[in-house]
């Protein structure tokens, strides 16, 4: 049986859109990581707050810019509920198959929007859609998944590929699907290096 993709559940959830939002999240988290300063008092808590806010800021700016007409925001608070097309989505840090009660909590705005959706598959009814961001111990992103929860069960679990948005093949934290062969490097002494007597080497 073929595994369903997000766009099988709703046509607004295209690969291009999911990759675009995921790249905003990843860029925000890595930007926060670059600013991490343990000597100044940073710890995992301050990094987590900053990483979420940096991703949130990028999504809000993208929605406000008009450059992403399919991206809008339901709740601009720290809960951050946004829409991809007509589908409400939230973000959490953690494994896609290990949601917390906070992850699964749905706001009135999210539930109201879900009630308006025209769905392709009845399995998609009442799903809570989330981007799950997996990180290593230092906070660098290992993988991003787009997950649809029914209760605490992940009905949909799709690894977001980054070849079209971040410039490499494969999924973050996963083995690349293509091998790129490179020519061997040329090694030798540079011919334009000056000798002590001022002459140029050959």
Report the pLDDT value the prediction gives residue 1, as an integer from 0 to 100. 44
Model pLDDT, residue 126: 74
83 token code pair: 């829409």
Question: pLDDT of 113-168, one tens digit each?
Answer: 555 555 555 565 678 899 999 988 888 888 999 999 888 888 899 999 864 345 33
Which portions of the chain are predicted below pLDDT 50?
1, 163-165, 167-178, 180, 202
Is residue 139 exposed (0-12), middle (13-18) or buried (19+ Cβ within 10 Å)? Answer: middle
Given this model, what pLDDT does residue 176 score? Answer: 43
Would you call 124 exposed, middle or buried from its count of C-beta atoms within 10 A (0-12, 13-18, 19+)? buried
What residues does 153 pair with on adjacent strands? 150
At which residue do the structure tokens 């140029």 appear?
A: 200
Q: Does residue 47 contact residue 32 with C-beta atoms inside 8 Å?
A: yes
- In the DSSP assignment, the letter for residue 92 is E
Nearest 10 degrees: CA dihedral of 100, 150, 88, 32? 30
What's the pLDDT at 108? 55
Query: Chain-centre distance of CA 88, in angstroms?
Result: 16
């Amino acid at each position: 049986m073929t595994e369903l993709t997000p766009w099988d559940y709703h046509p607004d959830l295209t690969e291009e859109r999911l990759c675009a939002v995921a790249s905003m999240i990843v860029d925000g988290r890595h930007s926060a990581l670059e600013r991490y300063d343990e000597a100044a008092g940073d710890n995992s808590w301050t990094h987590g707050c900053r990483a979420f806010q940096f991703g949130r800021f990028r999504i809000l700016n993208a929605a406000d810019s008009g450059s992403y007409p399919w991206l809008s925001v339901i709740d601009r608070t720290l809960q951050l509920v946004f829409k991809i097309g007509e589908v409400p989505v939230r973000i959490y840090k953690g494994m896609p198959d290990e949601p917390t009660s906070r992850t699964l909590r749905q706001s009135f705005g999210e539930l109201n929007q879900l009630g308006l959706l025209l769905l392709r598959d009845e399995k998609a009814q009442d799903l809570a859609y989330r981007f799950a961001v997996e990180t290593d111990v230092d906070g660098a992103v290992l993988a991003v998944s787009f997950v649809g929860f029914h209760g605490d069960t992940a009905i949909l679990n799709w690894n977001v590929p980054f070849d079209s948005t971040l410039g490499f093949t494969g999924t973050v934290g996963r083995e690349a699907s293509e091998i790129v062969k490179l020519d061997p490097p040329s090694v030798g002494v540079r011919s334009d290096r000056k000798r002590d007597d001022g002459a140029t080497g050959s």
